């Protein structure tokens, strides 16, 4: 059995699929600032929140559909990032955060734009299923467990003078628990950017700073959609810090670096574990009480290539591997690591199949009734820290919506009658023309 640690990019990218997709609790907010209409009911009634009965509630069909879509997108985005020559180092992101922000964006998309977003994110075609699925995940999974912190929040930041449709705002609040705030993007773009970044920082325990970079908000910005996810948990059985020591970590067959290697070995050390001819799979659970259990699932190839680990991300393979995990004694050597990542995703998402949303041909008429908005940026930042005690992870996504072009005031007409013209004298009440004339030379008769 090969116990050499897998290349770190596989560890971190796969850990997020287990940590963040395991569930989330929502910090609901429905404050609607002046100028943003609350909107009428969209004809659907949200299902009641799961009862806190001390056991995990059964996953509903809508929740299962959204989880499947989310996991598929996570795998597709990982492959896209991993195979991008520009991404040669670590990878870490939250597919749930990106999917949540783009789900709210998708609610305002129409036509080809909507079709492409749905294809990339595998969103259910039935909007009721999608909405109930996201709402159920936000409010149900991991709810009320005092042994770990797991929370998510959504927000809409709207230009205060822009007339968004009431139905769009209502849908975002009702089904995605989105806070809705007005900002002065036209007059104070930089102050608006700082306000949004502060909101993200506050909801990720200060781990995600400056999500939106300088210049990302300008007077043409009309809407910013944000999602934030935060997790902090301790291992069911923690590693002994006194046993952590320096060890070689093989970043390539002929290249090593020094890592802080934690270890748990000996009699009584048991974990859920599975093995295939090409892969070792270890599940490390986090402490929990009556809420949903969370764990880090680690895929360790037996060879130098990550191909076997990447193949395991497929939905069928992942389900089969999870089903084969069995509690048994395992000697575990696992590196401590901390990383922060940032991704500007317009190019990546366009390459995955949704270019229309980023072009001036985009159709987000579901937001404002007009076809004059497009996505100018999708920014994602993530943070993870794994040590002897447990894991802290955070991520945030920002979708920036912009006007297609500067809305110019119509020019002031200039009526310079310096050449021949015709004129009428008419009765304004009846419209009857009383006189007709032509002026060819106003200097004489």
Among residues 59, 61, 77, the alpha carbon closest in space to that of 128 is found at 61
Region 245-269: what's the mean pLDDT?
A: 89
| Greater pLDDT, 281 or 25 | 281
Euclidean distance between CA atoms 331 and 39, whole angstroms: 57
Distances from the Cα of 76 to the Cα of 101, 122, 210, 441, angstroms = 17, 10, 27, 76
The reply to whether 225 falls in a domain is yes
Structural tokens at position 75: 């795998």
Instruction: Identify whether 214 is part of a domain.
Output: yes
Q: Look at residue 375 and tell me if it is in a domain.
A: yes
- Give the least confident one: 85-94, 175-184, 386-395: 85-94
Residue 429 lies in a domain: no
Per the structure, the complete domain to which residue 46 belongs is given by 8-234+337-403
28-84 pLDDT, tens per residue? 333 333 345 433 333 344 544 333 333 345 789 999 999 999 999 999 999 999 889
Query: Domain holding 146: CATH number?
Result: 3.30.497.10
Cβ–Cβ < 8 Å for 135, 176: yes
Q: Rounded distance, CA 25 to CA 316, Å?
A: 27
pLDDT score, position 302: 85
Q: How many domains does the chain have?
A: 1
Q: Is 15 helix (H, G, I), strand (E, B) or coil?
A: helix
Q: What is the pLDDT of residues 331-381, one digit of tens each?
A: 899 999 898 999 999 999 999 999 999 999 999 999 999 999 999 999 999
CA 300 to chain centre: 27
Give the model's confidence band at 436: pLDDT under 50 very low, under 70 low, under 90 confident, else very high.
Answer: low
Please state, as a whole number, how many other Cβ atoms lie within 10 Å of the Cβ of residue 39. 18
Residue 11: the pLDDT is: 37
Question: Residues 56, 62, 64, 67: is their CA dihedral positive or negative?
Answer: negative
Q: Per-residue pLDDT averaged across 378-389, rounded?
A: 94
Percentage of the chain lying above the pLDDT 70 cut:
77
Strand order in the sheet with 270-275: 295-301, 279-285, 270-275, 326-329
Residue 113 counted as domain residue: yes
Residue 280 within any structural domain of the chain: no
Does any domain span residue 57? yes
What residues contact residue 75 under an 8 Å CB cut-off, 6+ apart?
A: 17, 313, 314, 315
> Could you tell me which residue, 327 or 42, shows the higher pLDDT?
327
- 3-state class of 123 per DSSP? coil
More confident: 5 or 403: 403
Spatial contact of 1 and 280, defined as CB atoms under 8 Å apart: yes
Residue 280 CA to residue 274 CA, distance in Å, equals 6
Tell me the torsion sign for CA atoms 304, 305, 306, 309. negative
Where is average pLDDT lowest: 29-38, 107-116, 167-176, 428-437? 29-38
pLDDT score, position 87? 82
Q: Which one, of 238, 277, 269, lies nearest residue 391 by Cα?
A: 238
pLDDT, residue 318, reads 81
Give residue for tokens 């007077």: 219
> Distance between CA atoms of 152 and 96, rounded to whole angstroms?
10
Q: Is residue 258 part of a domain?
A: no
pLDDT of 168 > 80? The answer is yes
Give the pLDDT of residue 321.
86
CB 18 within 8 A of CB 167: no
DSSP 321-351: HHHH-EEEE--EEEE-EEEEEEEE-HHHHHH
Rounded to an integer, what distance in angstroms lies between the CA atom of residue 198 and that of residue 183? 14
Q: How confident is the model at residue 191 (pLDDT cuts 50, 70, 90)?
A: very high
Cβ atoms < 10 Å from Cβ of 205? 16
């Amino acid at each position: 059995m090969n116990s050499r640690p897998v290349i770190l990019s596989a560890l971190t990218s796969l850990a997020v699929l287990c940590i963040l997709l395991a569930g989330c609790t929502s910090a609901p907010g429905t404050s609607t600032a002046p100028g943003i209409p609350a909107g009428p009911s969209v004809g659907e009634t949200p299902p009641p929140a799961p009862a806190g009965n001390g056991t995990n509630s059964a996953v509903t069909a809508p929740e299962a559909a959204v989880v499947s879509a989310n996991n598929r997108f996570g795998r597709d985005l990982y492959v896209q990032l991993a195979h991008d020559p520009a991404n040669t180092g670590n990878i870490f992101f939250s597919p749930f955060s990106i999917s949540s922000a783009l789900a709210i964006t998708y609610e305002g998309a129409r036509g080809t734009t909507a079709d492409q977003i749905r294809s990339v994110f595998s969103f259910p075609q039935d909007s009721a299923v999608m909405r109930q699925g996201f709402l159920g995940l936000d409010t149900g999974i991991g709810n009320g467990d005092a042994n770990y912190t797991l929370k998510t929040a959504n927000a809409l930041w709207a230009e205060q003078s822009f007339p968004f449709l009431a139905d769009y705002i209502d849908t975002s609040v009702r089904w995605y628990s989105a806070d809705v705030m007005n900002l002065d993007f036209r007059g104070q773009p930089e102050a608006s950017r700082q306000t949004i970044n502060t909101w993200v920082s506050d909801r990720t325990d200060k781990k995600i700073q400056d999500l939106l970079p300088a210049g990302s908000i300008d007077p043409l910005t009309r809407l910013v959609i944000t999602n934030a996810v935060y997790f902090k948990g301790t291992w069911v059985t923690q590693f002994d810090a006194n046993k952590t020591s320096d060890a070689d970590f093989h970043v390539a067959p002929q290249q090593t670096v020094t890592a802080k290697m934690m270890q748990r070995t000996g009699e009584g050390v048991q974990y859920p574990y599975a093995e295939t001819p090409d892969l070792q799979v270890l599940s490390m659970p986090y402490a929990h009480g009556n809420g949903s259990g969370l764990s880090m699932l680690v895929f360790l190839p037996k060879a130098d290539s990550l191909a076997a680990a990447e193949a395991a991300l497929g939905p069928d393979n992942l389900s089969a591997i999870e089903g084969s995990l069995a509690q048994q004694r395992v000697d575990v050597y696992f590196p401590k690591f901390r990383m922060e990542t940032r991704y500007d995703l317009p190019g990546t998402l366009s390459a995955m199949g949704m270019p229309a949303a980023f072009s001036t041909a985009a159709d987000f008429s579901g937001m404002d009734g007009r076809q004059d908005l497009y996505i100018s940026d999708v920014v994602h930042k993530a943070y993870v820290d794994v040590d002897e005690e447990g894991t802290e992870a955070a991520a945030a996504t920002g979708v920036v919506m912009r006007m297609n072009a500067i809305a110019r005031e119509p020019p002031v007409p200039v009526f310079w009658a310096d050449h021949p013209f015709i004129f009428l004298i008419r009765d304004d009440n009846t419209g009857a023309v009383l006189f007709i004339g032509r002026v060819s030379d106003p200097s004489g008769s």
